[in-house]
């Protein structure tokens, strides 16, 4: 049987952390998400994630809880289970292999909501940057106007002195 071949080591199992590390990075990059964006989406779902958390998972340094794995599937809109895709059996622990894993998600709205929130955040950052630049430009214009008025007063004073 196929299961016997896996148990005897003919087809070694792959640790789940290693499977998710590679798949998370490729899926995230294909969706054009930065590590910070993914961490922000996970934080909105109640997880205390930072950009570093995503990097640790992608390097296989940090393991993912079941709740985090399911949330990742929702955030990444992974309807086909690509996050858990592996050619052979997956090892959940040194003594437990899984020979087939199927996860079905019908979470179209949460992923759309996450995408809409991400878009809103980008627009908010752009708006804040533009407001800051406008404020800095207005300050510079006011400073220049004051300096111009001072220079014109000095000219008027010097002209008045030079008249007989």
Contacts by residues 124-130 (CB-CB < 8 Å, ≥ 24 positions apart): none
Q: pTM here?
A: 0.51
Predicted pLDDT of residue 127: 79
pLDDT at 110: 57
| Average pLDDT along the chain, 164 residues, taken 10 residues at a time | 43 74 89 92 91 93 88 85 74 52 47 72 79 84 92 91 81
Q: What pLDDT, on a 0 to 100 scale, did the predictor assign at position 79?
A: 77
Structure confidence at residue 12 (pLDDT): 65
Question: What is the structure's pLDDT at 82?
Answer: 82
What pLDDT does 1 receive? Answer: 33
pLDDT at 57: 93
């Amino acid at each position: 049987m196929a299961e016997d071949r896996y148990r005897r080591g003919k087809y070694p199992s792959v640790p789940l952390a290693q499977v998710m590390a590679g798949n998370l990075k490729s899926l995230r990059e294909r969706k054009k998400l930065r590590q910070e964006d993914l961490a922000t989406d996970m934080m909105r779902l109640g997880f205390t994630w930072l950009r570093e958390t995503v990097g640790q998972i992608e390097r296989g340094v940090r393991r993912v809880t079941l709740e985090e794995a399911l949330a990742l599937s929702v955030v990444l809109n992974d309807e086909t289970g690509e996050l858990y895709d592996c050619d052979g059996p997956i090892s959940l622990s040194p003594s437990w292999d899984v020979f087939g894993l199927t996860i079905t998600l019908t979470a179209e709205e949460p992923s759309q909501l996450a995408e809409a929130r991400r878009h809103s955040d980008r627009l908010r950052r752009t708006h804040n940057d533009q407001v800051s630049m406008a404020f800095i430009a207005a300050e510079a214009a006011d400073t220049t106007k004051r300096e111009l008025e001072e220079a014109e007063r000095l000219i008027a004073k010097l002209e008045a002195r030079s008249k007989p």
